[in-house]
């Protein structure tokens, strides 16, 4: 039989049993749709994770201390970075060119009678934005003079601008932060930056000496290496220095460290963060793929089941065709083609369903914090390869069984 004849016979056979074939196709639709959507979700999450570090400066390093764990015991008071740590980094770490403090808290911000609660407010050094490679949308960053004079000036992100000023220009306007009046000198873009929640920045000394006087220690130190080639060396120098300056914190064994998140003193730079986040995202994507393929396995079993039933019901037809001269290869190809056609049809519909599901997830509100699924050409190729593979794998045994039937026995058993 020619390929065209085989395909016509497949379509005729499937059409004759359309209700049963429809249920089988539905199983493949669910399986393929699940695989594609989960792979797309994993790819979207990976892209979102990596995008968070796209705007990290090539020389940027961040330093902070995690929790209160030290010397095998939970410390009664949290160990914090200090201004002395900042001075020591600038003095003793030769691979570091600049470093600035960062301290943060949450407070209420008001504009007239309108207020925002639990707004993150940071006190940062003069070179903070330059080290992080952050560019202001409007205005200028405060400098050393504003910091030394403890001026009440601030920079807000565009999220706060939208919520307080409804998108109107905020430059030069006054807002109340923790009950104190501040003049806005700049705005920063949250979409290209790191902070999507309402956030305000003020000079470090204004924060510690005129606004939040009881704030102790530093939340973070941001530093810049002398060049991109010295980032790893600078991070190593900072880490060794911090463990020396904080003897209550025990340095963990290297074998116990899976990533920077396991370290009590965390020294982070873009290359390390990207590689570790990428590995984490890949592992999560593989986990999702396994779940999806389990769903597809159920659909494949359905294909095998319907083909076995079909072979049993068409025993007489198979016997008659073989008695009239049909070869084993013809019978094998026809039944295998039927299985592939069922799977391929389900795959096409499943891919369409996954595409619609991805569109729905992509249009979810930002508050849902759902990453935009990414259906890449590779995922589409995997979808088609999987559907054809499912048809071949689960359809081969029934097709082989049909091709092995003895024509005399087949005709006799059909009576």
| 354 Cβ contact list (under 8 Å, min separation 6) | 32, 33, 34, 35, 36, 37, 40, 375, 383
Look at 26 and 113; give whichever has higher pLDDT: 113
Rounded CA separation 401/393 (Å) = 14
Most confident among 158-172, 276-290, 365-379 (mean pLDDT): 158-172
Q: State the pLDDT confidence band at 386, using cuts at 50, 70 and 90.
A: confident
pTM greater than the 0.85 cutoff = no
State how far the Cα of 253 lies from the Cα of 235, in Å rounded to an integer.
18
Position 71 scores a pLDDT of 45
Q: Which has the minimum average pLDDT: 97-111, 114-128, 225-239, 357-371?
A: 357-371
Kindly give the residue spans of alpha helices, DSSP state H, lying in 263-325.
270-313, 315-323
* Selection from 393, 392, 388 nearest residue 32 by Cα: 388
User: Taking Cα atoms as reference points, which of 233, 38, 201 lies closest to residue 125?
Assistant: 201
pLDDT greater at residue 199 or residue 396: 199
pLDDT digits (tens, 9 = 90+) for 89-142: 999 999 999 999 999 999 999 998 899 999 999 999 999 999 888 889 999 999
Mean pLDDT of 398-406: 71
3-7, 183-187, 295-299: range with lowest mean pLDDT: 3-7
d(C-alpha 33, C-alpha 292), whole Å: 8
The per-residue DSSP string of 14-75 comes to: HHHTHHHHHHHHHHHHHHHHHHHHHHHHHHHHHHHHHHTTTTS-TTEEEEEE-TTEETTEE-
**Mean pLDDT to the nearest integer, 212-236:** 88
Residue 392 has pLDDT above 70, yes or no: yes
- pLDDT of 414 reads 52
Mean pLDDT of all residues belonging to the chain:
80
Residue 254 or 205, more confident: 205
User: How far is it, in rounded angstroms, from Cα 396 to Cα 393?
Assistant: 6
What whole-number distance in Å separates Cα of residue 340 and Cα of residue 88? 68
Tokens representing 309 are 């039933």
pLDDT at 16: 63
Mean pLDDT of 303-331: 70
Check pLDDT > 60 for residue 286: yes
Question: Where exactly are the structural domains of the chain?
Answer: 3-51+277-413, 80-225
Q: What is the pLDDT of residue 344?
A: 82
Q: Of 40-44, 83-87, 209-213, 330-334, where does mean pLDDT reach its minimum?
A: 330-334
Once rounded to an integer, what is the mean pLDDT over residues 263-274? 79
In sequence order, which residues have a C-beta less than 8 Å from that of residue 93 and are 6 or more positions away?
Answer: 223, 234, 237, 238, 241
Percent of all residues in the chain with a pLDDT value above 70, rounded to a whole number: 76
């Amino acid at each position: 039989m020619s390929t065209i004849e085989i395909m016509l016979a497949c379509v005729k056979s499937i059409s004759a049993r359309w209700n049963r074939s429809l249920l089988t196709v539905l199983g493949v639709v669910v399986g393929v749709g699940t695989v594609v959507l989960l792979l797309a979700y994993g790819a979207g999450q990976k892209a979102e994770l990596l995008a968070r570090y796209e705007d990290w400066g090539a020389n940027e390093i961040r330093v902070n201390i995690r929790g209160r764990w030290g010397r095998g015991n939970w410390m009664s008071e949290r160990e914090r970075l200090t201004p002395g740590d900042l001075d020591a980094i600038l003095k003793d770490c030769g691979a570091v060119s600049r470093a600035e403090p960062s301290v943060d808290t949450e407070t209420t911000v008001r504009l007239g009678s309108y207020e925002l609660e639990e707004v993150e407010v940071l006190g940062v050094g003069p070179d903070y934005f330059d080290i992080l490679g952050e560019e202001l949308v409007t205005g200028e960053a405060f400098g050393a003079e504003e910091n030394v004079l403890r001026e009440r000036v601030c920079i807000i992100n565009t999220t706060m601008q939208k919520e307080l000023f409804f998108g109107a220009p905020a430059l030069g306007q006054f807002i109340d932060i923790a009950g104190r009046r501040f003049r806005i000198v700049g705005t920063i873009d949250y979409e290209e930056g790191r902070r999507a929640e309402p956030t305000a920045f003020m000079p470090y000394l204004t924060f510690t000496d005129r606004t939040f006087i009881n704030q102790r220690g530093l939340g973070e130190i941001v530093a810049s290496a002398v060049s991109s080639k010295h980032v790893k060396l600078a991070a190593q120098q900072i880490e060794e220095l911090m463990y020396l300056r904080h003897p209550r914190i025990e340095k963990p064994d290297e074998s116990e460290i899976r990533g920077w998140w396991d370290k009590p003193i965390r020294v982070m730079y873009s290359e390390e963060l990207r590689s570790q986040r990428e590995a984490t995202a890949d592992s999560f994507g593989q986990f999702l793929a396994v779940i999806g393929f389990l769903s597809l396995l159920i659909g494949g079993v359905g294909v095998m089941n319907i083909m076995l039933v079909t072979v049993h019901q068409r025993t007489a037809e198979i016997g008659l065709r073989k008695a009239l001269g049909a070869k084993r290869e013809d019978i094998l190809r026809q039944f295998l083609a039927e299985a592939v056609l069922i799977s391929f049809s389900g795959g096409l519909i499943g891919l369409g369903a996954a595409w619609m599901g991805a569109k729905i997830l992509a249009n979810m509100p930002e508050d849902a914090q759902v990453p935009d699924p990414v259906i890449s050409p590779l995922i589409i190729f995997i979808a088609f390869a999987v559907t054809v593979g499912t048809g071949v794998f689960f359809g081969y045994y029934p097709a082989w069984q049909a091709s092995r039937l003895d024509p005399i026995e087949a005709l006799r058993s059909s009576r």
